[in-house]
Amino acid sequence: MSRPPEPTVVLVHGAFADASSYAQVVPRLIARGLDVVAPAVPNRSLIGDAAYVASIVRQIPGPVVLVGHSYGGAVITVAGTEENVKALVYLAGYALEEGESLGELQGRFPDSDLAAALVRTPFPVEGSTENGTDVSVRPDKFPAVFAADVDARLAEVLAVSQRPLAAQAFADAAPAAAWRTTPSWGLVASSDRTINPDVERYGYQRAGMTTVEVDSSHLVMLSHPQRVVDLIEEAVRAVSA
């Protein structure tokens, strides 16, 4: 009897970052012989971003392990309902319940250092006379809040090349919670100053995930890439068994 095909790993980045946040993870997964896709998430709204990621997942033949960092965790919670998604991996991420928003989940816990470091700027919305609001991190605060254990020169580059998150994304309620029907793994970044680690722990525990903790800043993929790869490989092995 032949073994099932190994899944494609889809890496979903979070707010204030882009797919390059997986730069240390992708080569390790490719060296392992896995197919990898790391899309550019628009970061405009939870509903729209999840629909975009779901459209990518649907076009992948065979099983998928869907990985989400930070806000990307909320995205995979919704997009992970696609039929070929066989496992979810959360990295310092939001595991929302159906009907829950980012703002609601965060509001149950004390603010992290991120709250005082945010900047809000208007942006034009096509077809509307009203502006949207982009949320980003003050560049001078970014290294300490977001990337405390990442090389300082790299953190400076990341600070000035952020992919902002539209404020709408904080308000959208998740229309589904894929972890209810899909095996899930979660990594808590225990020294996270962007998301209160208790937000991560709460979401993972509620979902009944297999959970690990790493003494890391929010950007665990850059500071502890092998720990991230180990967790993804655990999910891959479970799907491929």
| Angle at the Cα of 177 from the Cα atoms of 215 and 237, rounded to 5 degrees | 60
| 224, 200 contact by CB (below 8 A) | no
Q: What is the pLDDT of residues 80-103, one digit of tens each?
A: 999 999 999 999 999 999 999 999
Q: What is the pLDDT of residues 20-54, one digit of tens each?
A: 999 999 999 999 999 999 999 999 999 999 999 99
- Those residues of the chain that have pLDDT short of 50 are 1
pTM of the model: 0.97
Which among 93, 87, 129 has a CA at the least distance from the CA of 15? 93
Q: What pLDDT sits at residue 2?
A: 58
